Copies of this chain bind each other. A is one copy, B any other.
């Protein structure tokens, strides 16, 4: 998975009918200049640090027929995490 920071949000009116209703975030992968668009079922906000899963596992998370979604926020990272990791 990737550690990323929410930097924005996009809207799409003209889209495939199979794209699920919900929020599509723009995130920046930490430590890089790479940005991605990610489906967010968790309601994350700008600046929040998130865990992003990519590929077919993102689509398989959805109930029923898998939609054409290849990136999913699977969690928000607790603020204490990095410090705890570094202390060890």
List the interface of chain A (C-beta within 8 A of B).
Answer: 1-3, 7-16, 18-19, 24, 26, 30-39, 41-42, 45-46, 51, 53-61, 66-72, 74-78, 80-82, 84-86, 88
Contact = CB atoms under 8 A, between A and B. Distances in A.
Contacts of A60: 56, 59, 66, 68
A30 to B, nearest CB: 7
Contact of A1 (B33, B36, B41, B45): B36
Counted per complex, copies of this chain come to: 5
Contact of A37 (B8, B19, B51, B70): B51
- List of 10 A-B pairs having minimum Cβ-Cβ separation, nearest first: A8-B85, A15-B75, A12-B75, A10-B81, A1-B37, A14-B76, A11-B78, A61-B68, A57-B59, A9-B85
